[in-house]
Amino acid sequence: MTKVATITDVAERAGVSVPTVSRVLTGAAKVSPAKREAVEAAILELNYRPSGAARVLASRRPMVISVIAGDTSRYGYAEAIRGVEEAARAGGYTVMITVVESTDADEVERAIDAALSQPLAGVVVLKFDPPGVVALQRIPPELPVVALSGVRDASVPQALLDEARAAEEVTEFLLSLGHRTVHHVRVPPSRKEDGRTTGWRRALRRAGAAVPEPFDATWEARSGVAIGEALAADDDVTAVFCGNDEIAMGVIRGIRIAGKRVPEDISVIGFDDHPLAELWSPPLTTVRQDFAGMGRRGFDLLLAEIEGRDGKRLSSERPRLVVRESTAPPR
């Protein structure tokens, strides 16, 4: 195996001391042109790569972005992180991901300490769930921070996907097909009520339609199956809006187990436009959220904070309704 060159190897090849090589790398003190040229030539010959710490010292500023999230496996979370990472990498930054698994004070403290163990340029927090909300509150105030969320929060720079308005559009669409009301299956909220539920409720009240009690699912798609069976047992149910696509797939499965059809008996709409949504049977009507785009917008806001530029603190985008075959007028 080829030996990786060290700073000592560079010093020996250049005929200088290790501190001299360090001064060339960091710019901490003046070095004669001859010695600088010798060190730079040795670096090229040995293909020496300075450590991250040395690069930070050389640039006089940290180049690491911390992303803090309650999960990294869910579709929306993973896509948002991808967007941040792509934009950060294009800007010369490295991304470090820290997961906060619960709202337990010790767990949050450990996660924040792990993130702060690196010299950070700034932090992006995925504020989609309670752990993300709590983590955001624990970020030191002197550190640049941006939140990614579906609910507006004026206290922090934020890249937003306007879930409430999109949920209103979903509900209005189902009512326009002739459904008298729309039932709702919600995913675990980041606070008392998230934008998807708020928008659904607002649209029903504005239309003068009944507002049924929502069903609560977990983050597991399987939790939608029992809910789908319960919905199918009620003949008054003709339309269902689910908090995400995976839950909608579980609900459709439960409706079929109960002997009813989608959309002939019950229309079902999801949220997020998961890659499998258009391949599901029937192809799922849903709301397309550009999570990766939100991640990129969030990094742009963070970069403005890092560089001390005055500018907007909110970047908002409205998700788009995608109509497929899981919805139809009621029988």
DSSP 181-219: --EEEEPPPSSSS-HHHHHHHHHHHHHT---PPPEE--S
Domain assignment of residue 325, yes or no:
no
Three-state DSSP state, 243: coil
**How many domains does the structure of the chain reveal?**
3
Residues 167 and 100 in one domain: no
33 and 77 part of one domain = no
Domain CATH for 134: 3.40.50.2300
Q: Are residues 183 and 247 in the same domain?
A: yes
- pLDDT tens-place string over residues 119-160: 888 999 999 889 999 999 988 888 899 999 988 888 899 999
Residue at 201 is within a domain? yes
Beta strands across the sheet bearing 120-126? 94-99, 64-69, 120-126, 145-149, 158-161, 314-317
Q: Which regions of the chain are under pLDDT 50? A: 1, 53, 57
Answer yes or no: do 229 and 202 share one domain.
yes
Residue 260 lies in a domain: yes
List the domain range (segments joined by +) for residue 295: 64-161+291-318
Tokens of 67: 């992303």
pLDDT at 1: 46
- 329 domain-assigned: no
DSSP 4-40: PP-HHHHHHHHTS-HHHHHHHHH--S---HHHHHHHH
% residues pLDDT > 70 (the chain): 94
Same domain, 200 and 278: yes
Instruction: State pLDDT tens for residues 255-298.
Output: 999 999 999 999 999 999 999 999 999 999 999 999 999 999 99
Specify if 206 maps to a domain: yes
